Amino acid sequence: MTEPDPRRPAPIPLAVITGFLGAGKTTLLNRLLADPAMAETAVVINEFGEIGLDHLFVEAKGEGTVLLSSGCLCCTVRGELVSTLEDLLRDRDNGRLVFRRVVVETTGLADPAPVLQSVLSHPYLAMRFTIDSVVTLVDAVNGEGTLDEHVEAVKQAAVADVLVLTKTDLAPDSAATVRLLRRLRALNPYAPMLDAARGEAVPAALFGRGFDPTKKIDDVAGWLAAAADDDHSDHDHPMPGDGQDGADVNRHDASIRAFALTTDRPVRSSALELFLDLLRSAHGPKLLRVKGLVHVEETPDRPVLLHGVQHVFHPPVLLPAWPDEDRRTRLVFITRDLEESFVKGLWEALAGVPRIDTPDAAALADNPLSLRR
């Protein structure tokens, strides 16, 4: 039996928090980071799309929080993740950073197998890190439909060491939750299931389990092997509008889009409410994720925080202050089969941006034929 080398530092626990869009990953991360047991934790956050916002809402911000916002961890950012982890190690070894754990929060569209292989198959990272736990969040409201439509969600559930159910208090009925639990158990026979709404997702329950592919369904080993053989240099993501193959960080398939609305023009709260109402009622199932900060006329020094998943939108929250120096409205959308031009056109009409041959806010609100009447 080989004795451990006393000159080599003990591996640093690295946990992966994953789960489909809107499952509540950032909410869980904030809850965990507020726990004294999570002190000295470095956080790596990945977002899908052109504007990153989640890092603004992580409450334990600092030099140990890194945003990877140029794409999806399973695609073009995979190399950036490796570089980021190497940089964190270098800063730690040189005394510039102090941390004893790393948590990686993936985008909701991430295939977890390449993320894990980025550490497992890298000679240096595999020596310096150990996969402490893979925590997968599952939205109890949209979970069944998500598993039906998105293979990434299936993989996220299958690789988990711990499954955390969220929004069980909002689930439509107990029968739907029971069906979801049975399906999750078939995908992952051994991972414990915790209910975040009951406060069961605490650090002691989530971490320290160790990632063990032999305790997963057979598919997991195949996904990891395929990820090890694929450097993703030839990922088949068509570029928008050009009809050619390429590495577009905002596309997992032809129907899924990530785009952002940004504007310096403040919007009235009534116009914001109407925008959300019309968008949700007309295209709710196509809104995989909506999140952002809105500059509202009535409260210029206090932005409104929005979070929505399909037809379920949390009540807008008036923040005490802007989280950074940028005072623009920034709304990020991840949609399926919904054109960016439609969303932007509706927003501009209600925000008072003049456009030729398009209705304004008054026309949309006061139309005698409107279904809202």
Q: What is the pLDDT of residue 253?
A: 59
Do 294 and 84 contact (CB within 8 A), yes or no?
A: no
Pairing type for strands 287-294 and 329-336 reads antiparallel
Q: What is the pLDDT of residue 63?
A: 52
- What are the residue ranges spanned by the domains of the chain? 12-229, 255-366
From 3.30.420.10, 3.30.1220.10, 3.90.1150.10, 3.30.230.20, which CATH number describes the 255-366 domain?
3.30.1220.10
Q: What is the pLDDT of residue 67?
A: 59
Q: What is the pLDDT of residue 211?
A: 93
The CATH code of domain 12-229 reads 3.40.50.300
Do 115 and 224 contact (CB within 8 A), yes or no?
A: no
Q: What is the pLDDT of residue 229?
A: 79
Q: Which of 222, 195, 219, 218 is nearest to 206 (CA)?
A: 195
- Mean pLDDT of successive 10-residue stretches along the chain, which has 373 residues: 64 95 88 89 73 48 54 57 90 91 89 90 94 96 92 96 93 86 96 93 91 93 88 40 38 71 89 89 85 91 87 85 88 87 88 59 51 47
Q: What is the pLDDT of residue 107?
A: 83
Do 20 and 156 contact (CB within 8 A), yes or no?
A: yes
Do 247 and 76 contact (CB within 8 A), yes or no?
A: yes
Q: How far apart are CA 17 and CA 69, in angstroms?
A: 16
Q: What is the pLDDT of residue 240?
A: 31
